[in-house]
A and B are shown apart, each in its own frame.
Chain A
Amino acid sequence: MSAASPLRRMGLVAPALVIVLALVGVPLAIMAWVSLLERGATIGVTWDSAPSFANYTRLAWEEDFDGTMLLNPTYLIIQLRSVAQAFFTTVLCVLLGLPVALWMSSLSKNQRDIAVLLITIPFWTNLLVRNYAWLIILREDGAVSHFANAVWPFGPVQLLYNDTAILIGLVYSFLPFMILPIYSGFEKFDWRLLEAAYDLGANRRQALTRVVIPLAMPGIIAGSMLVFIPSLGSFVTAAILGGGKSLMMGNLIQLQFGQSRNWPFGAALSVVLLALMMLVLVGLALWRNRQGGKI
């Protein structure tokens, strides 16, 4: 009675499984196929074209009028920028998130609950609204811009529509994803370990680097995944704060399905984005396993 029969189990799991496979798995398979096809005149793809890797070649190379291949860095720069933005976002989130998580776990039970609530509220707020708020802060005729221009002696300062604006927006969007996993690791932290470190003669810095950070590592890794992955694939932040000048991969993909109507190229970009993501996930997982083996 306690063990559900395999048939009943299948019947319960199948509907959800089928929906996810049909609406996530199948589309991804179609996308991988489209990335090998040629663009179409009306709907963006020629379904019966012969498959080739031409779209992937286009990521870095450009065919000259006489048929020679020239290096075209436009798309490579966007890809590199996306990875760099995601990387710096993750680093900044660790630097800001670790102290916040530590501070939260040093609070009393009731204060902690409120701190968690304060960190969670922005996370529940619409992503568009959060990025739009920064658009207001950083806009040209805003108070921050006036102030920056007043103190900056070397010509006019442009705060919006550049990589820094995007970085600020990405950190703002994903910081809670870093704080909460680190904090939840520390919630069960045995603070006597820290007392033991002091008792054994460690100063605060040594206690931090030798006891606290190693123990926070699982949370930092989990948080890094939760921040890096959505940053790399983000669209909204660069669309609003990058103003179409500073693109990330998500924006480049969207362009192929919007104005450019070049689905196969957009599909190839998507496949590359997925591959980059897998690379990072596998790398982090391997690194974590090695860390785990050490302890």
Chain B
Amino acid sequence: MNLRRLPFTREISLGVLVYLYVPVMVLIFYSFNANRTATVWSEASLDWYRKILVNPSIRDATWNSLVLATAAGLGSTLLALAAALGTKNRFRGLAVVEAILNAPLILPEVVVAVATLMLFVAIGIDMGLTAMIPAHIAFCIPFAYLPIRARLEGMNPSLEEAAQDLYANRFVTFRRVTLPLMWPGIMAGFTLAFVTSLDDFLTSFFLSGPGSTTLPVYIFSAIRAGITPEINAISTIMLIVSVALVVTSFLLGKIRR
């Protein structure tokens, strides 16, 4: 008897895995269905994928999403990197600083999104990418900050001292020792921030203007209009991109170890 394994945990776990994966499988399955009504399976086809590739609205929305996620990822990672370096040593007020930086993680997004909408209307900023990029940067900061901070915390402080002892000035120490050692944390932070922005729906939903629709906003309005095989196809592609990102980072982590 495996003392560690408690009764039924295995059965429940397998059930949970089925619960987690079956809906997604069904979604993927129907994306290859040639029949528009989606109820009946007629035959396998890539028609819907072909259709979404040539759909200009989807192309524009994808482009907007990528521009936004890149800007938000880069912006929040840079800000978070500086903040992580500044919070490396304990000081009075550190807890308050971290609470503020991490606030977007716990605040309900719908509240922050409508509040930001009111701010932008009050100060006269037009909705669109100029409104979305700063808002995305703000809520992506904790996603970039936490992995960078964790990496910095795990770093042996003697390494920086060793570099200075070996005649590297502060700038060279940062470039040759601190930065390379933090790099995995920075990359993890950027990936998290990028994916968070790419997946974001609510903030973009309230702040996007005409012509700046992102992919999640497009998908939401499409779902509202009804179930179509096109949505299945876009969803499948987004799924594959997400899974590829997670699996890649998992494998990279394995190799590094």
Q: Do A and B come from one complex?
A: yes
- Whether the pair B86, A13 counts as a contact (CB closer than 8 A) is yes
Which of A13, A22, A28, A236 contacts B112, CB < 8 Å? A28
A26 to B115, CA, bound (A): 9
The main secondary structure of chain A at its interface with chain B is: helix
Residue in chain B with minimal CB distance to A186: B4
The reply on A283 being an interface residue by CB < 8 A is no
Which of A96, A117, A125 contacts B239, CB < 8 Å? A125
- Whether the pair A23, B100 counts as a contact (CB closer than 8 A) is no
The contact string, 1 if C-beta is below 8 Å from chain B, for chain A 202-213, is 001001100010
25 residue pairs A–B, Cβ–Cβ below 8 Å: A2-B157, A2-B161, A4-B89, A15-B83, A17-B101, A27-B115, A30-B115, A30-B118, A31-B115, A106-B9, A117-B246, A127-B201, A128-B223, A129-B235, A133-B27, A142-B39, A230-B108, A233-B108, A235-B110, A235-B202, A250-B110, A253-B111, A253-B114, A257-B206, A281-B106
A266 to B219, CA, bound (A): 25
The reply on A121 being an interface residue by CB < 8 A is yes
Apart from A30-B118, A45-B118: 13 A-B pairs, beta carbons within 8 A: A12-B86, A20-B101, A23-B119, A23-B138, A102-B6, A127-B201, A136-B23, A172-B19, A194-B3, A235-B110, A239-B220, A267-B115, A270-B111
Residue in chain A with minimal CB distance to B92: A6
Report A-chain residues with C-beta under 8 Å of the C-beta of B106: 229, 277, 281
| The 9 A-B residue pairs with the shortest CB-CB distance in the complex, in nearest-first order | A233-B108, A12-B86, A27-B115, A133-B23, A23-B138, A13-B86, A103-B9, A16-B83, A16-B79
- Whether the pair B114, A254 counts as a contact (CB closer than 8 A) is yes
B1-32 residues at the A interface, CB under 8 angstroms: 2-10, 12-13, 16-17, 19-24, 26-27, 30
Which of B13, B104, B118, B139 contacts A103, CB < 8 Å? B13
Residue in chain A with minimal CB distance to B112: A24
CB distance from B36 to the nearest CB of A (A): 13
A74-132 residues at the B interface, CB under 8 angstroms: 96, 99-100, 102-106, 113, 117-122, 124-130, 132
A71 to B216, CA, bound (A): 39
The reply on A167 being an interface residue by CB < 8 A is no
Which of A34, A126, A250 contacts B108, CB < 8 Å? A250
- Whether the pair A132, B138 counts as a contact (CB closer than 8 A) is no
Report A-chain residues with C-beta under 8 Å of the C-beta of B21: 122
- Whether the pair A253, B110 counts as a contact (CB closer than 8 A) is yes
The reply on B195 being an interface residue by CB < 8 A is yes
Sorting the interface of chain A by its residue count into under 10, 10 to 19, 20 to 34 or 35 or more gives: 35 or more
The reply on A215 being an interface residue by CB < 8 A is no
The contact string, 1 if C-beta is below 8 Å from chain A, for chain B 94-115, is 0001001101101111111011
The reply on A41 being an interface residue by CB < 8 A is no
Which of A13, A27, A117, A119 contacts B119, CB < 8 Å? A27
Report B-chain residues with C-beta under 8 Å of the C-beta of A25: 100, 103
A292 to B97, CA, bound (A): 25
| Chain B: interface residue total (CB-CB under 8 A) | 87
A295 to B236, CA, bound (A): 48
The reply on A1 being an interface residue by CB < 8 A is yes
CB distance from A30 to the nearest CB of B (A): 5
| Residue among B5, B104, B245 with the highest chain A CB neighbour number at 10 A | B5
A105 to B114, CA, bound (A): 41
The reply on B172 being an interface residue by CB < 8 A is no
Residue in chain A with minimal CB distance to B108: A233
The reply on A53 being an interface residue by CB < 8 A is no
Report B-chain residues with C-beta under 8 Å of the C-beta of A236: 201-202, 220
The reply on A198 being an interface residue by CB < 8 A is yes
The reply on A227 being an interface residue by CB < 8 A is no
B32-72 residues at the A interface, CB under 8 angstroms: 38-39
A19 to B97, CA, bound (A): 12
- Whether the pair B24, A125 counts as a contact (CB closer than 8 A) is yes
Report B-chain residues with C-beta under 8 Å of the C-beta of A102: 6, 9
The reply on A288 being an interface residue by CB < 8 A is no
- Whether the pair A175, B79 counts as a contact (CB closer than 8 A) is no
